[in-house]
Amino acid sequence: MISIIILFFIYSSNAQQCDQISNVARFDCHSEKDSTKEKCLARNCCWRLPIKSANYTEKNSTGFGFVSVPFCYYPKDFPTYEIISTEITDFGQRIQILKKQTTYMPYDILNLTVDLIYETEQRFRIRIYDSVNKRYEVPLQVPIVEKKANITDYEIKLSQKPFAILVTRKSTGVTLFDSSVSPLIFADQFIKFSTRLSSPLLYGFGEHQQPLLINVTQEWKRLTFYTRDFPPMQHINLYGVHPFHINLERTSDNQTNVHGQFFLNSNAMDVDLQPLPAVTYTTIGGIIDLYIFTGPTVQNVIQQYWDIIGKPMMPPFWSLGFHLCRWGYNKIENIISSLERMQKADFPLDVQWTDIDAMSSHLDFTYDDEYFHGLPEFVRALQANGIHYVNIIDPGISSTQPAGSYFPYDDGIKRGIFMKKFNSTELITGKVWPGTTVFPDFTNPNAIEWWTNIAEAFHEVIPFDGMWIDMNEPSSFIDGSTDGCTDNTFDNPPFVPHVHGDALSAKTLCPSAQHYLSSHYNLHNMYGYFEAQATNQALKTIRKKRPFVLSRSSFAGSGQFTAHWTGDNQATFEDMYFSIPAILSFNMFGITHVGADICGFLLDTTEELCIRWMQLGSFYPFMRNHNALGQNDQDPASFSWEAQQIMKQALIMRYSLIPFWYTLHYEAAMESKTIIQPLFSEYLNDANTYDIDQQFLVGRAILVSPNLLPESDIVHAYIPQDVWYEFPSGIKLNSVGLFTDLNAPISKINVHIRGDFIIPMQIPGDNLVLGRGNPFTLIVAQSQLGTASGNLYWDDGDSIDSIETKTYNYLEFSLIDFNKLTINTLVSNYKDSAMRLDLIKILGVNKFVSNVTVNGENYSNYLYNIPDQILVIYALDLNMLAQSSQTIQWTFST
């Protein structure tokens, strides 16, 4: 009788711990695909069907991101850690926590150290690691803070038992981090922790094909982070890993603040999102190293994040032009034909590319002398006309060529820079385009010199201007290696995140493979990062100029070294749409020189789609038209005469704005400002902007509203409450602060300039090199108060150290009092530039202009358009560097 009472008491107690948890507050205790009641209860977790409610919709878990309310979840009394000691340190606090019993994952670590680091006023860092044994940590060079910030915008509270951390914003009391929602699990190959979110409005968490807003108001989502070669598709882990997000905080007075989080961890991981709202990180290695950025604006958060991972590179000037490529030129005559029709149709072009079909037997650093005969001379001829050349390089180095015949392999063997099998001196081999291959270990100290030497040897044959590093997830056509993988816990961990292919070795190397720094298990997600770093350095050494690198795979901080494109997309309107949230997200991630394959890589495009995509692509930071083997030609000149004229107008629009684009890149590199940004970044208190990802801003000044639908001549767009002028006409918009239908025939992309901004422009040339000396123009878009401002950065476009040595020109433009424009030259050390201003177009001039003066002298070359309220001052031929300050002024008739 007594035993029955005891059992009843235990059952009732467990039931209480389980039944009081609502659907949205359940945290998954068995996120593997084969969850069952028996397995769940074996972990001492709860097994319950979801509680039925009006807003509950049951979904089946597929492991592809479609997840729902977990049946298996943690009870409230699940064993976890408690604080056993706390000490004050110079950086903040150091806490010892202890768990008294192991849980369900092998090699549970019971003794942990927690460092709470008050790094700056807006940046807080949490580090949780093994108190006894040193564990792998991400080899990213981050700032080391040893002195606690005196003033902070955050407040920290601790729960002793169970251990939890609460971070709130001091000014509002809003929760920024709260780990009390779920137990902390910290085993050797399984680390899991959760935090409450401030709102269900999330952005970031890349690289995934998804809308910009990750709205978890009602949905449960799973995002997996493990670099993988796979065409962009929703719910699939893709080429890059960026465990960073931005979360909006709505306050009671309808004001919005923003904070961000960055989980510095390079192991394979799942991120689960649920409508509590909450986020759960599950990683299979390393430590917990979490940054919290308090903003409070979007740009503040991004600046605080880039302070950790590094600012974007300053690209070479020529890389801002139009790039043309395809896989499947097949022979040099087809490239020549493409270029000839482009030139005949007067299309501007800056960069010609070749893909793997130009290689000899797909061997890196070779070219096919039969089908691409004369390629070295062809490239030199391009360069003589101001056109640059970029070739593709894959990381897989052929290991089957005759001894002494293939320098990249022979020299790599000599230097010992290829990856090895687990606990062996034998090289690990996979299969890529050239057949059996070995893989460089770019963490090896000898790898950069090896990479530089083999690239330099090829550069002496073909003087390429940039390098395209592809397949660097790293990708292989087989799983693991030609010899399979081991059965150790690297290759068979106790938990595998929901990667595409179900195994960490799927179409890549065995996780047990060895790098110089650590195992591939730890470094897989950083392979592209280290290759980009090595390639960037190699190009500096070889060309002695600013490097251009394009990498498919990326990690947090890759933007310091490389540009990025969004991979093997398809020629569909849907893929064109998804390019916008991808580019917006990568700007947040610090890779600002980013684009998508215009007109689509896979499948044949259509004329309508390619026109629309060329219009949109003219506002990508990185603009390349590229498609795949077997598809029809899709260079602009391959379409009808009518289509060519429309595409040409889009390109002219881009080229005229290059001074503005170049200045934005300077601001990204120096001031941590994004180049492309979502509307909510500038209109944070306008809830209408939170889910807009079919429009975007270039800088803060240009609103782009492309047509993303087939057979449509209307764009349903949101025009924020502000002053806007249509570009290029300059006509002021009357309907603002609302959704509206904009006329968008096939010949038009809707672009608007925001009041209070001055846009520097230039008359385009055949390419950026040939057009550098052309005159400049200014578009002055007045605010309601008659003000506007802008700036211009200008250098030789190629020098590595232009910024460091101040060998550049920097000008600021300012309009005040409706009628006084000043040009202030703050730096004028780049003397080789003829910076002549030819035309100024002032928008929103609502009074008749009777007189114009330039530096105090009357000037007669001006026109005032009364209906459109536009003042044009032309034929100026004004040397903008002639004086430190110059003034253009106009008077109104009374």
| Residue 71 · residue 35 · CB < 8 Å | yes
pLDDT at 14: 59
Handedness of CA 318, 324, 329, 335 (dihedral sign): negative
Angstrom distances, CA of residue 749 to CA of 305, 593, 779: 33, 22, 19
Same topology, domains 82-309 and 665-892? Answer is yes
**Which are the catalytic amino acids?**
470, 473
Structure tokens at 422: 């687990």
Structure tokens at 2: 């007594």
- What is the C-alpha separation between 516 and 514, in angstroms, rounded? 7
Residue 75 CB neighbour total at 10 angstroms:
20
pLDDT band at 33 (very low <50, low <70, confident <90, very high): confident
pLDDT at 67: 75
Q: Report the residue count for the chain.
A: 894
Q: What angle do CA 706, 708, 712 make, to 5 degrees?
A: 100
Mean pLDDT over each residue of the chain, to the nearest integer? 95
Tell me: the pLDDT tens digits for 111-130?
A: 999 999 999 999 999 999 99
pLDDT at 252: 75
- With 50 as the cut, is the pLDDT of residue 65 above it? no
Which H helix or E strand runs over 469? strand 466-469
Tell me: the pLDDT tens digits for 821-868?
A: 999 999 999 987 789 999 999 999 999 999 999 999 999 999 999 999
Angstrom distances, CA of residue 515 to CA of 104, 424, 444, 481, 704: 31, 11, 7, 15, 45
pLDDT at 832: 79
- Most distant CA pair in the chain, distance: 109
Structure tokens at 638: 């391959």
**CATH number, domain 665-892, options 2.60.40.1180, 2.60.40.10, 2.160.20.10, 2.40.50.140:** 2.60.40.1180
- What is the C-alpha separation between 818 and 799, in angstroms, rounded? 39
- With 60 as the cut, is the pLDDT of residue 9 above it? no
- What is the C-alpha separation between 865 and 873, in angstroms, rounded? 11
Residue 445 CB neighbour total at 10 angstroms:
10
**Of 569, 654, 655, the residue nearest 617 (C-alpha):** 654
pLDDT band at 253 (very low <50, low <70, confident <90, very high): confident
- With 50 as the cut, is the pLDDT of residue 137 above it? yes
pLDDT band at 2 (very low <50, low <70, confident <90, very high): very low
Residue ranges of domains in the chain = 2-73, 82-309, 665-892
Buried-exposed string 717-727: b where 16+ CB fall within 10 A, e elsewhere: bbbbebbbbbb
Tell me: the pLDDT tens digits for 417-431?
A: 999 999 999 999 999
Entry pTM: 0.96
- What is the C-alpha separation between 94 and 117, in angstroms, rounded? 9
- What is the C-alpha separation between 30 and 43, in angstroms, rounded? 9
**Of 394, 393, 446, 457, the residue nearest 418 (C-alpha):** 446
pLDDT at 10: 37
Structure tokens at 661: 């684009």
**CATH number, domain 82-309, options 2.60.40.1760, 2.170.150.70, 3.40.640.10, 1.25.40.420:** 2.60.40.1760
Mean pLDDT of the 721-740 span: 96
pLDDT band at 55 (very low <50, low <70, confident <90, very high): low
Which H helix or E strand runs over 365? none
Which H helix or E strand runs over 408? helix 407-415
Tell me: the pLDDT tens digits for 322-380?
A: 999 999 999 999 999 999 999 999 999 999 999 999 999 999 999 999 999 999 999 99
Kindly report which listed range (49-58, 227-236, 515-524, 736-745) carries the lowest average pLDDT score: 49-58
**Of 178, 240, 248, 241, the residue nearest 212 (C-alpha):** 248
> For residue 70, how far is the Cα from the chain centroid?
31
pLDDT at 17: 87
Alpha-carbon dihedral 608, 611, 617, 623, rounded to 10 degrees: 120
Mean pLDDT of the 211-227 span: 94
The distance in angstroms from the start CA to the end CA of the chain is 104
Query: Please, is 572 exposed, middle or buried when counting C-beta atoms within 10 Å of its C-beta (0-12, 13-18, 19+)?
Result: middle
